[in-house]
Amino acid sequence: MNDHGKATGAEPALRAGVIGYGYWGPNLARNFMETPGCTVIGVCDQKESNLARAKSRYPSIFTTTDSGALLAQPGINLVAISTPVSTHHKLALAALRAGKNVLVEKPLASSSTECKDLIREAESRNLLLAVDHTFVFTPAVRKIKQLIEAGELGDVTYYDSTRINLGMFQHDVNVLWDLAVHDLAILDYLFDEKPTSVSATGISHLGNDIENIAFMTLFYPTPLIAHINVNWMSPVKVRHTLIGGSRKMIVYDDIEPTEKVKIYDKGIEIADTVEGVYQLKVSYRLGDMLAPNLDLTEALKAETLHLLDCLQNHKHPLVNGKTGMRIVKILETASRSIRNMGKTERLDHTP
């Protein structure tokens, strides 16, 4: 990283400008303001009411409806973009060209071509390009990664997620790009191996081409398989994931207030003889359930501290442009599979 993250004297090392103060922007601004070593210099939004809300909470900040005016602020060294996906590339590219480090709300851009463009620009200017895949920073997902890496689950065989709710319809991306993107980020973080192919189906009930219900299956080079069910038309909000292993299994419920991660010492065992395998003699192991204690740090707080560390110590972010592009490539390929009535499509992971 360059020297754009260095602080002089008592000046905060992370001096943010936030573009988009609608749904997610206020959470970003709050964490930047509440984290030592960070601050918010300015906020940009097209709605005056959102700017008034930001100014009311943070009277010292600069507000504007013009993103160019925000990017021209010399004190800002990181621009956080929380706007519709279709605007990500244009805004992030302008911020990079203005010499600002950039954090983009998920997904990184509308296409892998746009992602590649942003990666190239950031690298040529030695600037930080991070993607706000917040679930990677949740205590629950980090605990799951620890358990997998420690071998507690044995060989992981499946990941099965249901991520549904009523509403929050997007006008520029389908439900995969809005909700399944979270699971793709989690999978990318949890497992070193990357999926080799994807199949997806979906449908729109809104009279347009934007699917509001979709199902995605990812195939891996190992026996791991991942299935993701996403839906904007559910009467209830569900954030429920099953992760199966040869030794133990995990139930991850993000809505659960306390015991978000539960580890079950349950599974199946096939008789270890040729005859047993041939006759499929299966026995069931029924053990205890453990709910580990989790760190209570807010995910966005952990992400902010990580970005601060990256700026101060010239580190590359955990969720960077290349991570974002891998996920966008899967979303692109899954969208193509939907158009081809669920045909399994090969994934291209070349940079």
- Any domain includes 228: yes
Residues whose CB falls within 8 Å of the CB of residue 165, separated by 6 or more in sequence, listed in order:
231, 232, 234, 236, 237, 238
CB 142 within 8 A of CB 116: no
Q: Which CATH number covers residue 155?
A: 3.30.360.10
**Using only C-alpha atoms, what is the Rg of the chain?**
22
Q: Is residue 324 part of a domain?
A: no
Q: What is the pLDDT of residue 238?
A: 97
Do 287 and 258 share a structural domain? yes
Beta strands across the sheet bearing 197-203:
282-290, 261-270, 249-253, 233-245, 156-166, 225-231, 213-219, 197-203, 345-346
Of 132, 116, 232, 245, the closest CA to residue 185 belongs to: 132
CA distances from 219 to 158, 177, 227, 344 (A): 10, 19, 9, 9
- Residue-wise pLDDT tens digits, 181-202: 999 999 999 999 999 999 999 9
- What range defines the domain where residue 255 resides? 139-291+331-346
Task: Inform me whether the pLDDT recorded for 337 exceeds 50.
Answer: yes
Is residue 72, in this structure, part of any structural domain at all? yes
Q: What is the pLDDT of residue 342?
A: 98
Do 315 and 173 have their domain in common? Answer: no
Query: Using 50, 70 and 90 to split pLDDT, how confident is the model at 8?
Result: very low
Instruction: Tell me, yes or no, whether 124 and 242 share the same domain.
Output: no
| pLDDT at res. 7 | 46
pLDDT digits (tens, 9 = 90+) for 14-50: 999 999 999 999 999 999 999 999 999 999 999 999 9
pLDDT digits (tens, 9 = 90+) for 146-160: 999 999 999 999 999
Residues 163 and 35 in one domain: no
Could you tell me if 105 and 193 lie in one domain?
no
Q: Are strands 282-290 and 261-270 parallel, antiparallel or unpaired?
A: antiparallel
Q: What are phi and psi of 261, to 5 degrees?
A: -115, 125
What is the phi/psi pair of residue 345, to 5°?
-115, 135
Per residue, the 3-state secondary structure of the chain, as one string, reads CCHHHCCCCCCCCEEEEEECCCCCHHHHHHHHHHCCCEEEEEEECCCHHHHHHHHHHCCCCEEECCHHHHHCCCCCCEEEECCCHHHHHHHHHHHHHCCCEEEEECCCCCCHHHHHHHHHHHHHCCCCEEEECHHHHCHHHHHHHHHHHCCCCCCEEEEEEEEEEECCCCCCCCHHHHHHHHHHHHHHHHCCCCCCEEEEEEECCCCCCCCCEEEEEEECCCCCEEEEEEECEEEEEEEEEEEEECCCEEEEECCCCCCCEEEEEEEEEECCCHHHHHCCCEEEEEEEEECCCCCCCCHHHHHHHHHHHHHHHCCCCCCEHHHHHHHHHHHHHHHHHHHCCCCCEECCCCC
* pLDDT, position 286: 76
Q: 278 pLDDT exceeds 60?
A: no
Q: What local confidence, expressed as pLDDT, does residue 282 receive?
A: 64
pLDDT of residue 281: 62
Instruction: Mention every residue, 6+ apart, whose C-beta is less than 8 A from residue 69.
Output: 44
Q: What is the percent of the chain where pLDDT is above 90?
A: 86
Give the confidence band of 297 by pLDDT, cuts at 50, 70, 90.
very high
Q: What is the pLDDT of residue 94?
A: 98
Verify that 19 and 154 share a domain, yes or no. no
> Which residues have C-beta within 8 Å of that of residue 23, sequence separation ≥ 6?
82
Task: Say if residue 284's pLDDT is above 80.
Answer: no
Residue pair 139/296 in contact by the 8 Å Cβ criterion:
yes
Query: What single letter denotes the amino acid at residue 180?
Result: A
CATH number at residue 45: 3.40.50.720
- Does the pLDDT at position 3 exceed 80? no
Q: Do 230 and 116 have their domain in common?
A: no
Which of 76, 89, 83 has its CA nearest to residue 22? 83
Statement: residue 4 has pLDDT above 80: no
Q: How many residues does the chain have?
A: 351
Residue 131 pairs with which residues in a beta bridge? 104
304-333 pLDDT tens trace: 999 999 999 999 999 999 999 999 999 999
265 domain-assigned: yes
117 touches 89 (CB < 8 A):
yes
Averaged pLDDT, 200-205: 96
pLDDT of residue 275: 61
- Contact of 342 with 216, CB cutoff 8 Å: no
Task: Looking at the structure, tell me whether residues 101 and 199 fall in a common domain.
Answer: no
Specify the pLDDT at position 279: 54
Domain check: are 161 and 213 in the same one?
yes
Whether the pLDDT of residue 232 is over 70: the answer is: yes
Count of the separate structural domains present in the chain: 2
Question: For 165-175, how does the pLDDT look when each residue is reduced to its tens digit (9 = 90+)?
Answer: 998 888 889 99
> pLDDT tens-digit profile of 101-160?
999 999 999 999 999 999 999 999 999 999 999 999 999 999 999 999 999 999 999 999
Same domain, 262 and 310: no
The residue behind tokens 């306390």 is 258
